Every structure is written in C-alpha cells, then in structure tokens.
Amino acid sequence: QQKVQQSPESLIVPEGGMASLNCTSSDRNVDYFWWYRQHSGKSPKMLMSIFSNGEKEEGRFTVHLNKASLHTSLHIRDSQPSDSALYLCAASTNSAGNKLTFGIGTRVLVRP
Amino acid sequence: EAGVTQSPRYAVLQEGQAVSFWCDPISGHDTLYWYQQPRDQGPQLLVYFRDEAVIDNSQLPSDRFSAVRPKGTNSTLKIQSAKQGDTATYLCASSFGGRSDYTFGSGTRLLVI
C-alpha cells in the first residue's frame, strides 16, 4: 500500500520566518500531490496541488515537486500566527481512483 | 454553496455500544469518502462510494464497521460494537467525478471509554 512520509513531525517558526515542510511517496504511480491545512478542531482545507515538476506559488505559499524522487515540499514565507496548524501531504493515483492517501502531518507553530 | 454536513459533532460511548454517523455531501458530488483520523495523525481512508456503489472498502474493519449510501446522496457510517481504539475523528468528504480536490465536513469526534 502506498505510503506518504512527512518530515519534520513538528516545526516552530518565528513570526515572519520561513517554514519548510517535506513529503515523499513510495508509490511510483503517484500522479498528484496535495497539501492540506488543518487548524485545531477543524476539518482539513486544501491549500495547493501539484502534478508537474517544478514550482508553484500562491501568495506566501510555494510548492515544489521532483517527480523523479517523488518528493514535494511546501514553503511558507512571512509566517503568521494564523499559519499555526497541522499540514497534511496527500498523494493520489489516477489508476487507484484518485483517492487521497495522507501522511501523518507536520505540526507548525508560529511564535509571535 | 452549502458544504459537507456531518452529525453528530461529538459522541461519547462505552465499549461495546453502537453509534452511527451521518454525512450529507455537497449537492451534485457523486463521490463520497469516509476517513478516520486518530489524534495527531493524518486521515486514513475507510471506505468510498461513487453514487450508491462501494468502490473501495478494503480498510473498513468489516466485523464492526459498515457504511451505506443507498440513494447516492447521504451516507451513514455505523460502528456496531465500539472499542477504545476507535477513538478518533471521523471525517466525511465529497468530490465530483472522483476528483481529488475533496471538500471535508467538520467531522464527528468519537470518544470510546
């Protein structure tokens, strides 16, 4: 079964700093990677998705993908206390019905 | 647009009791997913439907868990005899055409004591 590994497990970032999160899949058939953010006690909300090699930027969030190594990373610049949350990486495969397989997440704490 | 609605928000059970969770997906979304999220972990897929058909229930503990979506709209997830290890948040999500850009509901938090 496909595994999605995330690192680090937790991260403390000063307000205004950069947070960098990593994610790797063990399934060579992965077509898409997804990043979700989950605030405490809330449901996961999709941040960004990526399927092609390279970089994608939306506001303060940048996602990188290296398909050869099945590695994606999420970078949050100018981190705000409201960015404190659990960040979940997920992978999907067209041949497996596009269901999402999630990692255990990286808990980010932004200190004012 | 209304989101994915789940009820109840919370449930507290003793071991051996039964419980049902209900999910109303976004109107028009044909694909519905049930995930289990233990505390401080990522969601794990239990079962998903396309319309009323079960597509994958391989991770559903079939001896105690069951899920139905009889008319291809609302869905019910039932735990027949709860165990402490079932303590988790149960998330329902929906999408259109099996796309992976899910919308999650707010979840049901289950505590089994």
Q: What are phi and psi of A77, to 5 degrees?
A: -100, 160
State the smallest CA–CA distance between residue A99 and chain B in angstroms. Answer: 6
- List pLDDT tens digits, range A65-89: 999 999 999 999 999 999 999 999 9
3-state secondary structure of A31: coil
| DSSP assignments along B49-88, one per residue | EETTEEEE-TTS-TTTEEEE-TTSS-EEEEESS--GGG-E
- List pLDDT tens digits, range B2-37: 799 999 999 999 999 999 999 999 999 999 999 999
The amino acid at residue B51 is D
Kindly state the DSSP code that residue A100 receives in the 8-state scheme: -
User: How do beta strands A10-14 and A106-111 pair?
Assistant: parallel
Give the mean pLDDT of A26-55. 92
User: How do beta strands A54-58 and A61-66 pair?
Assistant: antiparallel
CB B48 to CB A97 under 8 A? yes
- Please count the other Cβ atoms lying within 10 Å of the Cβ belonging to residue B10: 11
Quick one: pLDDT at residue B99? 81
CB of A27 within 8 Å of a chain B CB? The answer is: no
CB B91 to CB A43 under 8 A? yes
Name the residue among B102, B105, B106 with its Cβ closest to that of A100.
B102
CB A43 to CB B105 under 8 A? yes
Residue B3 tokens, joined: 């989101």
CB A102 to CB B43 under 8 A? yes
The amino acid at residue B84 is Q
